[in-house]
Chains A and B, each alone.
Chain A
Amino acid sequence: MLASPAVRAAPSTLDLLLLPLHRLIWADPHRRARKLLRFAETEADGGRDLARAAELTFDPALRRLYLRHAQDEQRHADLFRRRGRELLSQPGSASKFEANWLAPGERGLDDLRVEKQSDETLLAFLHLSEKAAAGRFVIYRRVLQADPDTRGVFARVLEDEAFHMTYTGKQLARLSPRKHGLRLWQARAGRLWKTYLRLASAVASVFGTVMLGLQYFLLLPAFALVAKRAARREPPGLAPSRPPTPLQSQY
C-alpha cells in the first residue's frame, strides 16, 4: 500500500551536512529523552490541529483522512512519550540544552492556524511539513545506531509519514489538478515568510529586552527604594478592601 520510506523520505542537504552535529545532539540519553518527550507534545498538538481540520472541512474524503492522520499523530505521541520515559530512567547528563531549533520535531518551527487555511493550502502545508519531518526523522534514525529501540520508534513513525506525504500529495492533486505545483510553491514561500517574521520578531524581542533592561537598571533603583520601604510598612494579613471606584475608571 505504501511507498518505501527510504525512497520517499529524503533528508535535506543541510541536515546531511549537519550529520555530525545531529549525532552529537542525540548522543546523550537524557537529552534524547527530553527531545522525544518534546516531540510527543508536538505530535499531540499536530493531532489536535488535524482533528480541527477534520471538523472544518466539507470534503468527506479529507475529513476521513485528517481523522486518520490525527490518530496517527496521537499514536506517535504515545510512542515518543513511552520511549522518552524509558530513556529518562537511564543514566545521563543533566544538560537542559535540547537544540530544538536545530533538531525539531514533526511540525518543526511551523505555526499552523487551521481556521485560516483552505483545504488546498492546508494540504500543501501538510505535504511540505510531512516531507521535511520525514527527512529529519531519517537523519535521526541514522544517528541512533547505538540505540535500536529509539531507532525503531522513528522507523515506525516514518512508515506513517510516508502515508501522510502520499495522501496529502494525492489529495492536493485531486482538489487542485492544475495548480497543485503552484500551491506547493506558495506554501514554501509562506514558510519562508513565516521564518523571516519569526526571526525578525526574535531580533525585535532581544532589542526590546535590552532597552527595557537598561531602563530597569538606570531608572528604577530610586523608585525601588521607595517601594521597598512602603512594602515594609504594610501590615501582614487582611486589609480593608479598597473602596469601589467608578466603573469608567481603569484604576
Chain B
Amino acid sequence: MGGHASQTGSVGRLRILGISAHYHDSAAALLIDGVPVCAVQEERLSRRKNDAAFPLAAIEWCLDFAGVQPEQLDAVVFYEKPMLKFERILTLALRGFPRSWPAFPQAMKNALGGKLWVKGIIASELGVRGDRILFAEHHRSHAAAAFLGAPSRNAAILTADGVGEWATLSMGRGSIAADGTASIELFRELRFPHSLGMLYSTFTAYLGFPVNEGEYKVMGLASYGQPSFAEQVRRIVRRTADGGFALDLDYFEFHEGARRSFSKKFVEVFGAPREPWDPLDPQSAEGAHFADVAASVQLVLEEVLVDLARSLQRETGLDDLCFGGGVALNGCANARILRESGFRNLYVPSAPGDAGCALGAALYADRLHFRRPHRPVPDHPYWGPALEATDLARIALEDGLELEQIPREPDLIACAVDHLCAGRIVGWMQGRTEMGPRALGNRSILAAPHEAAMRDALNRSIKYREEFRPFAPAVPIEQADRFFQLPSGGARLGRFMSGVFPVHREWRSRLAAVTHVDGTARVQTVEASMAPRFHALLEAYGARTGIPVLLNTSFNLAGEPIVNRAVEGYSTFRRSGIDVLIAGETVVRKRRHDLARLEEAIA
C-alpha cells in the first residue's frame, strides 16, 4: 500500500489529516503540501453502509498509503466544532421543554458518551499531541470542499444540509488571489431548525424511506407525480423578506428530538404516512398520492434553492457557484440552479456530503489556518484504495469459474464491449475507488442502456430495489450533447453525475433503461483525461452500436456499501445477477451448473 511513499517523508512537508465522523458517513482524507493524496469513506473498508463510527480504518489506510506515521502529522482537523454542536443540542432541548423530555436522555448519552470528546478520541487513537488537533466549522468544511476543490479562483459559495453545529445553509464567496492566498467568506446563514435538509428528510421519512439514505428515492418518485401539494408545502416553508425561509415548526417534530420527524398537523395536511414495508406502485391511487407529495416537496426545494442562488449571483456578480452539503446531491435541483440562477458554472464535488468534509476540513486548515498558498486540487473523484486483482484470479480458479487475463487494454475493452452487446451485465472495477456516493466508472455495474427490460432486470436481480428508481447513463463528454439537452455548464455538472437533464426526445426509446419516466437522466459526462479506460470503453461501445452510452450504476447490492476490493466485487458478482466481472485485466464469468454441483459435493 505504499504507492505514494516516495512523495512523502521529507522534512518540512505539511501533512494534514482531515476527519469526518459521528453523524453519518465518516471518512478520512490526507493532504500533503496542500494537495490531496488519498481519501476514503469508512464504510468502504468496514463494509457497513453509511458507517458513522470514528474512521479508524480509513485513517490507518490513508496513513499507510502515504507512508506517514501519526506523529508526523502536522495537524488533524475534525470537520466540525463539537462543543458548539453540543450547545445547539442543549439549547434545543431547553427550547422544547417539556416536550423534549423523551429525547433528552438519549441525546445527552450520545454526546457525553463520546461525541463530545473528539479531541481525546483523536489524541488517544492516533497518539498525536492535543495542540495539533484542530476543528473547522461544519459548513466551512463544506464550503472548503466545494470551493477549494473546484477549478475556480472566484466563486460564490452555497452550502446546504440537515444541520452542522447551528447552520443549516450558508452563503458566501471564495477567492484565490494572484499570490495563491485563499479566502472563504460566509456572509449569511440559516440556523437550525430551519433546514432544507431536514425538510427533505422529513418528507423522506413520511414517504417511508430511511432518512439519510432514501432521499434519492424521493427524487426518483417525484418524477411520477404532479406537485399538487406544492401550496401546502409552501405554507410550511414560509419565505422571509430577506430571501430566506422559516419552517412552520407546528408541522415538524425533529427539532424536539422526537422519534418521528413530522407532527400530527403534517399528517392532517398530507395524509397518513407510508409504512416502510408497504409496496410502492406510483400507478396505484395510493402510490400516486405519495408521488404527488414527493413532487411537491421537490418543487419547493428547487424554488428555494434557485431563489437563494439567484440572489447570491446578483450580490456577487460572479459566474461560478460552488455548491456543497448533502442537499447538493439533488441532481434535479442542481440542474435548475444552473439553468435559472444566472451562474454560468456550477461546481459540486464528488462527495458534497459529510464524507467530503474530511477533505474540506483539511483544505480549510491548509489554506486558511496555515495560510499556505493555494494549489489546484486534481479534478477527479478517485482518491480511495487502488484495485489489486491478484487474489481474484486465484479465487475464481478455486471456484472453477471461467477466467481470462487480458493485459492489452484494447483487447480488454473489446471483450467488455462483446459482453455488453450480448446483453450481459458487467461488474467493472478499475483503478482507485471513488470518494463520494456515486460510482463514476471505477466501481460500477455496466449494462446496455437501450431496453427498459434491462432496467427492470437490474432492479430485480441485482440492486433489489424499487422499480420506480432510475439508472444513470455515462457518455463521453464530447458526445453528451447529442443525446442529452445540456445547458451551458451542464457537461461540467455531469462530471460527477451531479445534474439531471432531459434526454433528447428522439433518443428516449433507444435509451429506455436510463431514461426516467419524465424523460430525464442523471448523466455522467466522462472525460478521457479523468477516466481514460472508461472513456475508451464508452467510445468502443459507441463504435460497435452507434450509441456511446452505457448504463452505469454503483457496484453494490441493497444495504451494502460500494465494493472496494476485488474480492468484494467477486462476492457481489457471485450473489447477484451480474454475468461478468472485469477487475483490472481479469475477466471472470459464471458457470452456474458447475457451481451448484460443487456446493453439493462439499455439503
Query: Residues of A at under 8 Å CB distance from B?
Result: 1, 33-34, 37, 44-45, 47-48, 51-52, 54-55, 60-61, 63-65, 67-68, 70-71, 74, 81, 84-85, 88, 163, 166-167, 170, 205, 208-209, 212-213, 216-217, 220-221, 223-224, 226-228, 231, 234, 236-242, 244-245, 247-251
Contacts and interface: CB of A to CB of B under 8 A. Distances in A.
B506 interface: no
A239 B368 CA distance: 23
B372 to A, nearest CB: 14
Contacts of A227: 91, 94-95, 97
Contacts of A224: 94-95, 97-98
B385 interface: no
Interface stretch (B347-355, B521-529, B568-576): B568-576
B244 interface: yes
B77 interface: yes
B559 A237 contact: no
Given A37-B277, A224-B94, A228-B94, A65 B567 contact: no
20 contacts: A1-B603, A55-B565, A55-B571, A65-B603, A70-B575, A88-B277, A166-B603, A208-B109, A212-B109, A227-B97, A236-B238, A237-B244, A238-B190, A239-B190, A241-B186, A245-B81, A245-B137, A247-B134, A250-B135, A251-B87
Nearest to A47: B575
A251 to B, nearest CB: 5
> Which 3 pairs of residues, A with B, have the shortest CB-CB distance?
A237-B240, A224-B97, A227-B94
A41 B495 CA distance: 35
Given A70-B575, A224-B95, A244-B140, A239 B191 contact: yes
Contacts of B246: 236-237
Chain B interface SS verdict (over half): mixed
B140 A238 contact: no
A226 B484 CA distance: 56
B439 interface: no
Contacts of B240: 236-238
Contacts of A216: 93, 97, 101, 104-105
Chain A interface SS verdict (over half): helix
Given A209-B109, A212-B104, A240-B187, 15 more contacts: A45-B559, A65-B602, A67-B571, A67-B574, A88-B278, A212-B109, A213-B104, A216-B101, A220-B94, A228-B95, A237-B244, A247-B135, A249-B81, A250-B81, A251-B84
Contacts of A217: 98, 101
Contact of A237 (B109, B241, B570, B595): B241
A64 B598 contact: yes
Interface in B261-310: 275, 277-279
